[in-house]
Amino acid sequence: MAAIDGQAGQDVIDALAGIAPDFATYLFEFPFGDIYSRPGLSLRDREIATIAALAAMGTAQPQLKVHVTAGLNVGLTQAEITEILMQMAVYAGFPAALNGLFAAKEVFAERAAATAQDGA
């Protein structure tokens, strides 16, 4: 989970500590322990699926941002993520695609700012 989600995953676990600490355990066990660790699909392919699903649903912007980061961490490029999000216009409508693109734009900008700071 650390490899995929990095700091964002840790932030979710920390936030759960005050209300539902067991739920952090479930977040490890089922999604990561059971699903993402299965050998039949690469992590890159899994993140394509997750980014598409979250953008299409349109009800999970915080989680979409976490998975845009996760997608970059497992090898998707910014251009590929942008393609996935644009494609969602076909299946979930232009608002879903636009809101997904703007969420991704925020993540890309945060990473650029962090990189600039690291290099300063």
Residues that bind a copy of itself (CB under 8 A): 12, 15-16, 18-20, 22-23, 26-27, 29-31, 34-36, 38, 40-41, 45-46, 48-60, 62-63, 79-80, 82-99, 101-102, 104-105, 108
**What region, left, alpha or beta, does residue 93 occupy, with left being phi > 0 and alpha being psi -120 to 50 degrees?**
left
Output 94 or 114, the one with its CB closest to a copy of itself: 94
Gap between the Cα atoms of 33 and 18, Å rounded: 23
**Cβ 119 to a copy of itself, closest distance in Å?**
21
Tell me how far apart the alpha carbons of residues 8 and 42 are, in angstroms, rounded to a whole number: 21
CB of 112 to a copy of itself, least distance (A): 11
The single residue listed with the structure tokens 């005050």 is 18
